[in-house]
Amino acid sequence: LSCEVLSDQSLETLLHHLPQLPQLSLLQLSETRLSPKSPLLLADLFSLCPRIQKVDLRSLYHMTLHFRSSKEREGECCGRFTGCGLSQEHVEPLCWLLSKCEDLNQLDLSANMLGDDGLRCLLECLPQLPISGSLDLSHNNISLESALGLVKTLPSCPRIREASLNLGSEQSFWIHFSRREEAGKTLRLSQCSFGLEHVPRLATNLNQALQLTALTLTQCCLGLEQLTLLLSLLRWPVGLFSLRVEEPWVGKAGVLTLLEVCTQASGNVTEISISEIQQQLCLQLEFPRQENPEAMALRLAHCDLGTHHNLLVWQLMETCARLRQLRSEPRNTGRLG
């Protein structure tokens, strides 16, 4: 189908007749201007027409509806509303309509105008959304505030298994779900410029996300001072937590400096991995802190120890009292465990 403009009333009439067309498998509206209300009308289609499989609306100009056959009573659904100008005012009604779709697997809300306020509202509605696969929120004009809000939201949505946010020029934001409550969650934050003033709030939110088991911070402007403060403020009641920091300065700081930072952690450091070439520092922390923990594992990958290898051994023993064994390997690489 193709027409220049389709009013809300005409679209609503068309959608209400779809359940009466059991042989229909595909419906397309090309180069047809739809109103800002059309995403809400289409979201309601999931409960209105049980055969709907995928709703795809792009830029309020191209609409594609996929239907499963009348023999396929059940199946996963997908909703895609990209470039539709969705803002904060649309979030609650959209989420309410989508919450009635029990088989929603994927939801794409990328390239809209949610902003920080709209995203905060959406994150608050997440526990009511029955998404079992993924949610794409890329290119929604969000800031560091949304990154901090995401960390705070993790405890309220037990089905989240992984979230990834990049605030760089590509601004990608994905949340992955499971059908059941996840015992462990992974969070990846990239190019989020955390200043020293943001670290206490970040740590507070992390401390409330007890199901979070792994955090990766990539090029987040997390300097030596910020990392030291973050490690000192992280406190879990019990469990293991993995932290990966990828910053240019990691490759230049030197092994001993990095190890000294690690000793500031409030939990027991059970594993350290340092790669100067990959500019990467990985820690595994165990909570609560024990006075006499088991041996800590240390891996130094691609770290140039130069002629100071013997001196490093002694300084490691002084800096990390829990270090019990050091096994040297070729190419200036040492591993302990």
**Annotated domain spans of the chain:** 1-140
Give 144-170 pLDDT, tens digit per residue. Answer: 999 999 998 888 888 999 999 999 998
> CA 223, 224, 227, 232: dihedral to nearest 10 degrees?
-150
Q: CB of 244 within 8 A of CB of 271?
A: no
Q: How far is CA 102 from the centre of its chain?
A: 23
d(CA 110, CA 140) in angstroms, rounded, equals 6
Q: If you average pLDDT over residues 169-194, what whole number do you get? A: 91
14-18, 91-95, 126-130, 310-314: least confidently modelled range: 310-314
Give 72-86 pLDDT, tens digit per residue. Answer: 767 789 999 999 999
d(CA 41, CA 6) in angstroms, rounded, equals 13
Where do we find the tokens 């709030």? 201
The whole model's pTM is what? Answer: 0.86
Give 269-280 pLDDT, tens digit per residue. Answer: 888 888 888 899
Q: CB of 198 within 8 A of CB of 231?
A: no
Q: CB of 97 within 8 A of CB of 128?
A: no
**Domain 1-140, CATH class in plain words:** alpha beta
Tokens of 102: 């029990």
d(CA 44, CA 55) in angstroms, rounded, equals 10
In whole angstroms, how far apart are CA 19 and each of 16, 99, 176?
Answer: 7, 20, 31
Q: CB of 305 within 8 A of CB of 312?
A: yes
Q: How far is CA 165 from the centre of its chain?
A: 5
Angle at which helix 255-262 crosses helix 224-233, to 10 degrees, equals: 30
DSSP H or E stretch at residue 165:
strand 160-166
